[in-house]
Structure 1
Amino acid sequence: MQDLLGFVFAGLALTGSPGPNTLSLAAVGAAYGFRRGILYMAGLFVGMLIVMAVIATGVGGLMLTVPGVAPLVTALAAVYFLYLAFKIATAPPIDAPDRERRAPSFQGGVFLSLVNPKAYAAMAALFSGFQLFSASTELDLTAKIIALGAIIALVNALWLSAGSALTALFRDPTASRAINIGFAVLLLASLAFAVLI
């Protein structure tokens, strides 16, 4: 039980702390509202499940031993983060007539999780740092994935809700632009921080 509690607390700390996924969720919630951010949130969740599978099976470590893969993944991540930051920074105010501009998609959420360096580092730390079931590796990995899935779903909903609580500020075009640009800068800073650690 003590290992499970430690795992849950570490999971909350690592997945709930500001990073590319969580900050992008708050930004999407603020710029587009909770309802329009649900598909993106679902994509982030599915992407994290894939990241967990990659880490749990050891495929991530094998992939990074192939020459050229790490720089390619870093370049893809940088390009997508720049695109997402631009999309957030230029999102129109909530009441603007061209409000039908699409919020980030399910596929975009999956992709962000897959290229998020913090996601791999957090999952590697959680999967290697705790043992929930010593008798069975399969049971241990399954329990970790289920527990982390629940934690990530909760954390993501909270970040999206926190961002969407700011939507009232987005009715004023000047405040909307300033907040959008602020979120875009924070998103890029979180990427830079995740790459440096």
Structure 2
Amino acid sequence: MTIELLSALVAFAFVTVITPGPNNLMLMASGANFGFRRTLPHMLGIGIGFPAMILLVGIGIMGLFDLWPVSYTILKVFSVAYLLYLAWKIANAAPPKNAQAEGKPLTFVQSAAFQWVNPKAWSMALSAITLYASSRDLPAVVWVAGVYVCMSCLSTTGWTVLGQQMRRILKSPARLRVFNWAMAVLLVATLIPVLWPSQG
């Protein structure tokens, strides 16, 4: 991979991981509800799970969509249903005093598995492979996955810390409830480009 192509890939990866999406909104909500330390498995699940997904998509799964296009529609239906379920969970998260006993942040495995039903993750993976590893050979796909590991570290840390810092503002149960509902609504809003893609 040339320096020019690598630079473009780094910029593309940074922009795609740092912008609001299901992963980042869920990390911010987790940081606000559970704090940084308890959100670490969730962060690692994204940081390792998404690049692993890129590897698998790049070396074979993308071909499945080429051969059987309806599989992408089936994936979309499952993705929408699961995101709606997660939005409901966020909206009804326990207040901080009860969160330690009642609430649980996503585990590493849950977070890594979530990448497979995250519409933004699929869009990012397919776009990155198409643009920066179009040959789908292993070295190129590994470069793309490696860059996403680095960029994910920055993004997951930033969004979790943002949520953690918001705990100071969200000390009252009423404020936290409003925040959680706002996060849930924004999470559902991330489905708009999936359900009604731009025609332009």
Instruction: Map 1:77-116; keep pairs closer than 5 Å.
Output: 77-96=79-98, 99-116=101-118
Aligned letter for 2:179?
I
Which whole-Å CA distance do the structure 1 matches of 2:46 and 2:183 have between them?
A: 18
Give 2:123's aligned residue.
Answer: 121
* Fraction of identical pairs, as percent: 27
Deviates more, 1:140-149 or 1:69-78: 69-78
For structure 1, the 5+ residue unaligned runs are none
Q: 1:75 to 1:38 in 2, by over 3 A?
A: same
Which whole-Å CA distance do the structure 2 matches of 1:38 and 1:148 have between them?
A: 18
Which whole-Å CA distance do the structure 2 matches of 1:170 and 1:110 have between them?
A: 28
Give 1:5's aligned residue.
Answer: 7
Q: Offset at 1:193?
A: 2.6
Instruction: Map 1:42-61; keep pairs closer than 5 Å.
Output: 42-61=44-63
Aligned letter for 1:80?
Y
Instruction: Map 1:64-75; keep pairs closer than 5 Å.
Output: 65-66=67-68, 68-75=70-77
What is the aligned-residue RMSD (CA, Å)?
2.5
For structure 2, the 5+ residue unaligned runs are none
Confirm whether residue 142 of structure 1 aligns to residue 142 of structure 2.
yes
- Equivalent pair of 1:93/1:99 in contact (CA under 8 Å): no
Which whole-Å CA distance do the structure 2 matches of 1:147 and 1:2 have between them?
A: 14
Q: 1:195 to 1:14 in 2, by over 3 A?
A: farther
- Given the two structures, how large is their TM-score scaled by the length of structure 1? 0.86
Q: 1:71 to 1:129 in 2, by over 3 A?
A: closer
Helix, strand or coil at the partner of 2:191: helix
Aligned pair count reads 195
Give 2:187's aligned residue.
Answer: 187
